[in-house]
């Protein structure tokens, strides 16, 4: 009964992860509650996954990555890439992938993708190369760079923590580096030599055109006896009817409205909203439609105002909330003109659309307000912004502190958890990042997912579910040899990374794989490393967080990832199986 219950909960969790009915942390907590209520785990056992030092390491890395992002270190790297690569597509692809892969080896790959997005978008504009030619290679490099060290991805850290709880020696900082470097180099070679041939080259004429904004923009004049006169812009009849007033032309002045701006006689308003709806209310509102505009980006740009794209980040507080719920315009002083999501431009009633990770918002407002978004972890502006000199100086301090943590932890002079925690605290003391910003940069959803799925793995072991599944797999594949069994687990892990996160997939398969290795008398560490690496080479679909982040900015379609990543995934999986016994023997020395 307990085995059936655990398998049932696993199936339900997989379905909920795939359907995205709610966030992964909520699903994970519901899973733990069900395990405790059913009597499978005690409360202490269900929360044991959160007491692991792995959680401290991951949280510290998020803080350190945030400090590097806030202080402009990555933007400086982006400028360096342009200087060495010029405008050659192949040289740029090579330089971007080498830089991103190298940084991602010491930074969570999702974070590495997020912090490199603005400089790579800037490179795309400077060189007039389509972002779609650079962003997917960048995402792939961040994923494969994560296979080079223990801290390169949360999956590695989660697997190391699990095997340590199982009585094995935890994975050292550079134990997987030789294999990871091979995977990264093969990935770079593939994308430079072959990938560029199949990548799309989406070229938009302008941002407003790309988002389909032109059919929503109108210029109207306020008549002398209009009931709109004296009304605050954000509280006016037009605002209540879902029209957004982007700009007020008052005489020779162009004004960006704020909460205090009131409508005056003879104002000419630039309004966003469906024209057919505007025609219905024009007599009631006392307005005259002057023009249905065919605007260029330059018409919305001035010394004080401009349009820009912003990406919804994985740790954003905007996720699963609407622009109206968060009072976006009042909170940020910016107007969201449109949302780009999975190949679609959403322009109608966007205030009621629930935001998701990877959504790209087309924003309009004062340059200063857009600049302020740089300090906000909820959104990332998709263009280079030069940090002030004080920030650049602190970026040097943050880089030194991060490097020292890697050196001390890698050599083994200081435990990794203490090394990275000390570094995170130092960046706050050196004012590279504030304590409030540090907490905002931590991806709490991911920490809850890893802690919860670690406890779920313990439930699989405790109830015999892992042994039950392992027995069936061994009976099916044992006649073909141990390497075939490892290949089967790798394939299963790659498949499971499609509906769920890499870390969750690895933690689900790991108990079964370790149980199988134990029954076969094989090296359990070899099985664990195989699953850990397999979880990081699934590049077939855009469901991996790094790919989700570039989906919108690159204007990709789902099939673009399938065409580009399928063959590469197969190649990388074969390389893992070939190199695995070279560095980790299939059978422990005593067994041989």
Euclidean distance between CA atoms 309 and 338, whole angstroms: 10
For the chain, domains (ranges, CATH) are 2-203+439-583 (no CATH), 214-294 (3.30.70.1450), 305-381 (3.30.70.1450)
Closest CA relative to residue 567, chosen from 55, 69, 194, 74: 194
Q: For the segment 307-326, what is each residue's pLDDT rounded down to a tens digit?
A: 888 888 877 888 888 988 88
Q: Any idea which residue has 């004049």 for tokens?
A: 221
Q: For the segment 340-366, what is each residue's pLDDT rounded down to a tens digit?
A: 887 677 777 788 888 988 888 888 888
Lowest mean pLDDT among 179-188, 275-284, 424-433: 275-284
DSSP-assigned states of every residue in 222-276: E-TT-TTTT-BGGGSHHHHTT-EEEEEEETTEEE---TT-B--TT-EEEEES-HH
What's the whole-number average pLDDT of the chain? 83
DSSP-assigned states of every residue in 302-328: -SSEEEEEEEEPTT-TTTT--TTTTTH
pLDDT, residue 82, reads 66
pLDDT, residue 421, reads 92
**For 198-222, what is the mean pLDDT?**
67
CA angle 509, 6, 485 (to 5 degrees): 25
Residue 532 pLDDT exceeds 90: yes
H-only helix segments in 325-388: 328-332, 367-372
CA distances from 149 to 181, 378, 460, 513, 555 (A): 9, 28, 28, 22, 31
- % of the chain surpassing 70 pLDDT: 89
Residue 180 pLDDT exceeds 90: yes
**For 370-374, what is the mean pLDDT?**
77
Categorize the per-residue pLDDT at 569 as very low, low, confident or very high, splitting at 50, 70 and 90.
very high
Euclidean distance between CA atoms 324 and 335, whole angstroms: 11
Q: Which range, 69-73, 121-125, 179-183, 196-200, has the best average confidence (pLDDT)?
A: 179-183
Residue 515 pLDDT exceeds 60: yes
Residue 592 pLDDT exceeds 50: no
| Contact in structure between 456 and 158 (CB atoms under 8 Å) | no
| Contact in structure between 176 and 132 (CB atoms under 8 Å) | no
pLDDT, residue 487, reads 93
Closest CA relative to residue 171, chosen from 185, 186, 152, 184: 152
Q: Which range, 175-179, 393-397, 460-464, 543-547, has the best average confidence (pLDDT)?
A: 175-179
């Amino acid at each position: 009964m307990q085995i059936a219950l655990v398998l049932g909960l696993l199936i339900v969790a997989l379905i909920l992860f795939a359907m995205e009915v709610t966030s992964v942390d909520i699903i994970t907590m519901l899973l733990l509650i069900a395990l405790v209520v059913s009597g499978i785990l005690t409360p202490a056992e269900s929360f044991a996954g959160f007491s692991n030092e792995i959680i401290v390491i991951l949280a510290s890395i998020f803080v350190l990555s945030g400090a590097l992002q806030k202080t402009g270190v990555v933007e400086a790297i982006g400028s360096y890439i342009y200087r060495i690569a010029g405008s050659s597509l192949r040289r740029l692809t090579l330089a971007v992938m080498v830089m991103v892969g190298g940084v991602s080896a010491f930074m969570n790959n999702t974070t590495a993708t997020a912090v490199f997005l603005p400089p790579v978008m800037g490179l795309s504009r400077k060189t007039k190369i389509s972002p779609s030619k650079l962003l997917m290679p960048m995402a792939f490099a961040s994923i494969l760079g994560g296979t080079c060290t223990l801290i390169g991805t949360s999956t590695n850290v989660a697997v190391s923590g699990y095997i340590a709880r199982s009585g094995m020696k935890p994975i050292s900082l550079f134990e997987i580096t030789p294999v990871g470097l091979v995977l990264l180099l093969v990935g770079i070679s593939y994308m430079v030599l072959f990938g560029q041939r199949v990548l799309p080259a989406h070229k938009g004429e302008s941002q407003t055109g790309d988002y389909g904004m032109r059919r929503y923009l109108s210029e109207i004049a306020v008549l002398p006896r209009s009931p709109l006169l004296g009304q605050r812009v954000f509280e006016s009849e037009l605002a209540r009817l879902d029209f957004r007033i982007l700009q007020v032309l008052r005489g020779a002045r162009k004004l960006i409205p704020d909460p205090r701006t009131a409508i005056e006689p003879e104002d000419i308003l630039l309004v966003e909203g469906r024209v057919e709806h505007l025609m219905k209310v024009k007599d009631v509102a006392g307005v005259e439609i002057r023009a249905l505009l065919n605007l260029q980006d330059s018409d919305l740009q001035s010394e004080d105002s401009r349009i820009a794209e912003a990406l919804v980040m994985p740790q954003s507080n905007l996720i699963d909330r609407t622009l109206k719920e968060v009072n976006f315009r009042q909170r940020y002083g910016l107007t969201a003109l449109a949302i780009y999501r999975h190949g679609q431009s959403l322009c109608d009633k966007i205030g009621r659309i629930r935001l998701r990770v990877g959504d790209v918002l087309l924003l309009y407002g004062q340059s200063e307000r857009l600049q302020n978004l740089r300090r906000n972890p909820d959104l990332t502006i998709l263009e280079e912004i030069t940090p002030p000199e004080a920030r650049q100086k602190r970026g040097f301090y943050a880089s030194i502190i991060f490097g020292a943590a890697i050196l001390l932890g890698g050599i083994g002079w200081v435990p990794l958890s203490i090394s990275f925690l000390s570094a995170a605290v130092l960046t706050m003391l050196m004012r590279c990042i504030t304590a409030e910003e540090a907490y905002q940069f931590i991806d709490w959803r991911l920490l809850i997912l890893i802690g919860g799925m670690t406890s779920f793995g313990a439930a699989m072991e405790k109830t015999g579910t892992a042994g039950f599944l392992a027995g069936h797999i061994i009976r099916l594949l044992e006649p073909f040899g141990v390497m075939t069994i490892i290949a089967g687990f790798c394939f299963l892990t790659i498949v499971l990374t499609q509906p769920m996160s890499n870390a969750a997939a690895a933690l689900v398969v790991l108990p079964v794989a370790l149980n199988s290795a134990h029954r076969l008398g094989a090296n359990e560490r070899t099985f664990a490393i195989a699953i850990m690496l397999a979880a990081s080479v699934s590049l077939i679909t855009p469901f991996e967080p790094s790919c989700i982040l570039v989906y919108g900015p690159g204007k990709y379609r789902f099939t673009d990832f399938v065409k580009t990543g399928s063959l590469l995934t197969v190649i990388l999986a074969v390389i893992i199986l070939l190199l695995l016994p070279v560095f980790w023997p299939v059978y422990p020395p005593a067994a041989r």
